[in-house]
Amino acid sequence: MAWQAKILVHNGRSVPFHEARLHPLSVATAYGAGVFEGIRAYRNPQTGRFSVFRLEEHLARLVQGMKVMRFDDPPSADALREGVLRAVRENEPDDDVYIRLQVQIEGLGGQETTGPVGWVAAAVPRQRSARFATGLSVGVSSWIRIADNSVPPRVKATANYHASRLVTLQAKADGYDMAVILNHLGKVSEAPGACLFIVRDGRVITPSRHSDILESVTRETVLTLAGEAGLPVEEAMIDRTELYVADEVFICGTGQELQPVIAVDRLPVGNGKPGAITLRLQSAYESVVRGTTNAHAEWRTPVM
């Protein structure tokens, strides 16, 4: 059996996991006024030690989100970093950890309310996707991706996931593992909780940051790893039909990790099996997150 979460850190205090409290009329629940990060801590198989992957990049994105949300007296990155490390340490995990770090308006009030702001760092077990090795069958959603001039995707706000849920529920109802979402221009944006890449003629291509994507930490990691592997990389606009003619498609994100896509709208991608470049990048990603390579030690924060 997987380890169990015992505590979470709420406003700097360790609280028994099932006893954490928030008022049901807080602005966080009433209007979805929260920003969060999904972060992973991986166990190194040789040492048994844990390190948090790209913690500083996640903290930086959260700080940007709090600014856009005009939060009063936001918690410092130092306090949040310490909260994350403490949540992992005090839960004494024996396997990989998924961390949710969330900052929210815990006070009551109307839409203009900007505080008091609280935060929570929770560490829970999370299994790898059952499709990690075999690949996902995805469908293009009829829902449209949220946009920067309404619900900015660059801000990882809890409220954004209302749209993602509709996409996911439709995809499940239609018999797909996951969906791909197009933006208001009809160009490929991303999946409901992950970014997307295609491979065409050896080029590794992902929607640009002007495609209404979340500026994903994993996307940036994959672009770096692909470049280091000598593969040409490109950030561009991607058409729906490019998904159908691509040699390979894969998705990536902290929670989803890097997973092949083997069918889009029931058309096979390439030969319908995970592609060679996808598998190479999946393996490179696994080595850097787990620290079985010395490369990019700066991306791993040890949990002491």
Beta-strand relationship, 13-16 and 7-10: antiparallel
Question: How far is residue 165 from each of residues 2, 170, 293, measured CA to CA in Å?
Answer: 26, 8, 36
Place of tokens 């949540």: 87
Binding status of residue 195 toward ligand PMP by CB under 6 A: yes
**255 vs 302, beta carbon nearer ligand PMP:** 255
Which of the ranges 79-87, 188-196, 232-240, 287-295 carries the binding residues for ligand PMP, by CB under 6 A? 188-196
Q: Return the sign of the alpha-carbon dihedral for residues 232, 148, 285, 197.
A: negative
Which tokens belong to 104? 């929210």
Give the residue from 301, 246, 257 showing the smallest Cα distance to 279.
Answer: 257
Which of the ranges 101-109, 111-119, 186-194, 278-286 carries the binding residues for ligand PMP, by CB under 6 A? 186-194
Apex CA 28: angle with CA 24 and CA 29, to 5°?
A: 40
**219 vs 300, beta carbon nearer ligand PMP:** 219
Residues 203-262 that bind ligand PMP (CB under 6 A): 214, 216-219, 253-255
Q: How far is the CB of 221 from ligand PMP (least distance, A)?
A: 7
Residue 130 burial (10 A CB sphere; 0-12, 13-18, 19+) = exposed
**38 vs 83, beta carbon nearer ligand PMP:** 38
Based on the residue annotation, tell me whether 156 is a catalytic residue of this protein. Answer: yes
**8 vs 196, beta carbon nearer ligand PMP:** 196
Which tokens belong to 69? 């949300």
Residues 16-75 that bind ligand PMP (CB under 6 A): 38
Q: Residues 6 or more apart from 255 whose CB is under 8 A from it?
A: 38, 40, 98, 126, 193, 194
State the binding string over 119-158 for ligand PMP (x if CB under 6 A, else -): ----------------------------------------
One of 155, 194, 258, 281 touching ligand PMP (CB under 6 A): 194
At 288 the three-state DSSP class reads: helix
Q: How far is the CB of 242 from ligand PMP (least distance, A)?
A: 19
Task: Name residue 253's beta-bridge partners.
Answer: 257
Q: Residues 6 or more apart from 16 whose CB is under 8 A from it?
A: 6, 7
Q: How far is the CB of 274 from ligand PMP (least distance, A)?
A: 20
Q: How far is the CB of 164 from ligand PMP (least distance, A)?
A: 6
The count of residues in the chain is 304
**114 vs 224, beta carbon nearer ligand PMP:** 224
Catalytic member of 6, 67, 156, 172: 156
Residues that bind ligand PMP (CB under 6 A): 38, 164, 190, 193-195, 214, 216-219, 253-255
Q: Which positions are annotated as active-site residues?
A: 156
